[in-house]
Amino acid sequence: MLLFVGLGNPGERYVANRHNIGFMAVQAIAKRYDFAPWRRRFQGVATEGTIGSEKILPLLPGTFMNLSGQAVAEAVHFYKLEPGQVVVFHDEANCRPARCG
C-alpha cells in the first residue's frame, strides 16, 4: 500500500498556481487509473484504487501547504504506514529526500 500525497493550497485562488502541481499530479493519476470518487478524509479529500497489484491511497490535504503534515500524519497513523510507503508530489525540491526539517 502506498499513500500518494499531493501538496498544494486550497481554494479557487490557487487552482492554476504552480504550487498546486502536487494536487494536479495526484488528481491526474487518480483519473487515469479510474479510482473511486474523492471523499472528505484526513483534513482533506482522499480516494483509493490500484495500479497493477499495488493499492494506492491518494490524499489532497485541505490545509495550506505548510500545514499539510497534519493531514498526512492522520492518514499515516490510520493505515499504520512506514515512511517508505508515503510518496509526496510537490512543486520543487528544496531538500534531500527524507532530510527536510
**What CA–CA distance (Å, rounded) separates 57 from 95?**
25
What is the set of active-site residues?
A: 19
Neighbours of 64 (CB within 10 A): 14
31 class by beta-carbon count within 10 Å (0-12 exposed, 13-18 middle, 19+ buried): exposed
**What CA–CA distance (Å, rounded) separates 51 from 41?**
21
**What CA–CA distance (Å, rounded) separates 100 from 7?**
15
